[in-house]
Chains A and B, each alone.
Chain A
C-alpha cells in the first residue's frame, strides 16, 4: 500500500481540475495576449478562473489577485516591493516577521539586511503559538511591514492574523500573510482579516505546481519583481500559464466546496492517527488541536532520529516528513524546530504527518500499524532510549 502523508509539502492534483487543464496544452494553446483566435479562445476560461479566485477569497473588483509562479515568488515580491516603495531612501527601515516563517520570507528579509533594513522576529512558545502582544513590543513608527504566515507548515499552528493585521495598521505598517498552508483548509475571507497582501500556492490545495498568486488590497502600488511585459495589468510579466490558472482556480473552488468535509473527514482521520501516536510512550505532539490545521501532526518521537523514521516508513510505502537536520541536503537544522524549543528534541526527532481529503481510513489504519512498528524497531536500536525486551508498543 502507498500512503501519502506529506500534504503540507505538496498535494495530489484534484482530478476535476486536471481534466479542465488538459485542453490548454494541445488544443487551445494560444498566447492569451495574441490578437488571433488561438489567443482569444483562451479568454473565457481565464475570465472564469479569475472570477473563481475572486469569489473564493471574497476579494472585491477593486482588489488585485495577481497570478505568480508560487508563494515563494509572492512572498519575495511583497518584501522586496515594500522595500523599494516604502523603505529605500525613506524613513522606514523595519520589517517584522515571526520566528517560524517559511524561508521564502525569512531569507528575503535576510537579503534586505545588507541594505540597512532591521528585521525583528516574533517568538513562538513551545506549542508553536504566537502572542500578538509580542508584536506590540517590537513594532515602532519605522516599521514598514509585518509579515506573518497564517498557519505554520511544520506545526500546523494557526496564527491570529486578524489581530496582527490590526496592530500593524495601528502603527501605520502594512500587513502581509503567507496563506500557503491555510488556503483550502480553512475558509478565507480577505475582507474579514483586512490584510494588505496575501500569498498562496496552488499545489498546496490540490492545484498544479508552478502556479500561485498574490492578493493585493485596493490594487495598491507594489514595485514589480518581474519586468518586461504587460501581463497581469503590467504588474507581473510573463506569458500566462492558462492551464495552470484554470487548474488552480478549479482546485480552489473545489477545496472551498469541500471545506466542511475537509474539516470533518480529515480532522477525524488526523485525530485518530494522533490518538494512536499518543498511545506510544514518550511521544509528544506540538500544539493543541484547537489552534491547529485539521490535517497536521508534528510529533517528537523520543529516541528515534527523524530520517531513520522516514526510512522505515518509506519501506512500508508511507510518505512523511521530518525537520531533522540529518534529512536535509545541507545538514542544516530546521529553524522552526529550534524556535519551538530544544527541550522537545524536535531538531532531531521530529515526525510531521499531514493529511488531505484524499486519504482514507484504511490508509490511516495501515499507517498507525507501521508507525508503531518503526518506533519499536528503531527504539530497540537506539542508544538513547531505555529499551528493554519486555517494552513494546501497545497494539502490536
Chain B
C-alpha cells in the first residue's frame, strides 16, 4: 500500500482513448456467412472461446484464402466487458492480411500494445489484462480448425500467467537463479501475477492449472532437497569441509561451531573454572547467523562475558566459519 493505492479510482479512467473508441464503435464487429465466403472465394472459419457463465466469450470469423493461407477478413462477436470488446476488435484487426501461421503468433500482449495511445502507457489497468487473453485463445482455436489440428498444437510451453505470458519454465528458473522466497519477488522479477492475479493462488477471477504459490513451494522444496543431497554427497566423499558454513544444515552448523569451540575456546574457559554451551542457532532476515550461548561455571556472571570473552568467541568463530556469525549470550 502507498499513497496512490489508498483511494480507489474508476478503472475506466485507466482505459486508453483507443480502448474507449473501440468500445463505442468496434470496427470488426459482425459475422461472415457461408454465402459471403463463397462469393469472396475464401474458406470460412468460425471459432468460439469462453462462455457466458465465465464472464467472457468470443467468437472469431476468418475468411481465409486457401491458396496463400492469408486471412482476407476477420470479424468477431463478444460477450464481455468493454475491454473484452475492444480487445476482440483489435485482435480481429491484427489478423487481417496475415497468414494463419503468422496470426497464431499474435498474443494478448500484442493486442494490448496495439490499443495503447502511446508506447509507454498501458491501454488498460492491470486487472483488465486478462480480457485480451481470450483473443489469443480464440486465434489458436481458429487456426486449429483451419489446419485440422488440436489447439494445443500451437503451445510449445506451459503458460502460467496468461496476462504477461510467462511460462512455467521461466518462473522455475527465476526462482532458482535469484533464490526467490515470495510470490511478490516472482512478480517483481517476471511480471507474472501482476495483472488479473488469477495465477497467484486458487480462488481468483479464473481457475488455473498452475499457481505461483504452488510453483514457489515446489521449487523451494526441490532446491532444499538438492542442497541436502549435496551436503550428504559431500559428507560421503569426505568433501563436506568444502561447503560454506551458510550452506550447512542447522545440525551441521551446530557440529561445526562445537568443533571450533572445543578446539579453540573451551580449553581457555576451563582454565579459569568456566565453560559455555550453545543453546540455538538462527539465521535472521539480514542473513546474520545468530549463535545463542550460555556461560557456565566461573564464566557465568563474569563481566568479561559481555566484553573481551564474548569478542574473542565471536572473532574465533568468524575467522574459522563465517564472517556472518554473531554471538549472543543469554
Contacts and interface: CB of A to CB of B under 8 A. Distances in A.
Interface in B205-232: 205
Contacts of A342: 53
Given A305-B80, A308-B82, A325-B205, A315 B24 contact: yes
Contact of A327 (B52, B78, B81, B84): B81
A381 B26 contact: yes
A184 interface: no
A315 B12 CA distance: 12
B48 interface: yes
B55 A324 contact: yes
Given A329-B8, A348-B55, A381 B204 contact: no
A347 B79 contact: no
Interface stretch (A82-90, A229-237, A287-295, A382-390): A382-390
Given A305-B84, A307-B82, A330-B127, A384 B55 contact: no
Contacts of A396: none
A311 B80 contact: no
Which residue, A303, A306, A331, A345, has most C-beta atoms of chain B within 10 A?
Answer: A331
A325 B77 contact: no
Given A315-B24, A381-B78, A382-B79, A326 B85 contact: no
B11 A329 contact: yes
The interface residues of chain B, by DSSP majority, are classed as mixed
Interface in B1-49: 8, 11-12, 23-24, 26, 29, 48
A308 B11 contact: no
B81 A383 contact: no
A385 B52 CA distance: 10
A325 B55 contact: yes
Contacts of B196: 331
Contacts of A385: 79
B171 to A, nearest CB: 21
Given A303-B52, A329-B127, A331-B196, A308 B205 contact: no
Contact of B81 (A314, A324, A330): A324
B133 interface: no
Contact of B80 (A326, A330, A347): A326
Contacts of A315: 24
Contacts of B80: 305, 308, 326
Interface string B57-89: 111000000000000000011111110110000
B195 to A, nearest CB: 10
Interface in A293-347: 303-308, 311, 314-315, 324-327, 329-332, 342, 345, 347
A331 to B, nearest CB: 4
A315 B130 CA distance: 24
Contacts of B59: 383
B237 to A, nearest CB: 49
Contacts of B130: 331
B326 interface: no
B57 A384 contact: yes
Given A307-B81, A308-B85, A311-B82, A381 B52 contact: no
A327 B80 CA distance: 11
Contacts of B76: 383
Contacts of A326: 55-56, 80-81, 84, 131
Interface string B113-156: 00000000000000100110000000000000000000000000
Given A303-B52, A311-B23, A380 B29 contact: yes
Nearest to B89: A381
Given A307-B81, A331-B130, A385-B79, 5 more contacts: A308-B85, A345-B53, A348-B52, A380-B29, A383-B48
21 contacts: A303-B79, A304-B79, A305-B56, A305-B80, A306-B81, A308-B80, A311-B81, A324-B55, A326-B56, A326-B81, A329-B127, A330-B127, A331-B127, A331-B197, A331-B198, A349-B52, A381-B85, A382-B78, A383-B48, A383-B57, A383-B59
Interface of B: 8, 11-12, 23-24, 26, 29, 48, 51-53, 55-59, 76-82, 84-85, 127, 130-131, 196-198, 204-205
Interface of A: 303-308, 311, 314-315, 324-327, 329-332, 342, 345, 347-349, 380-385
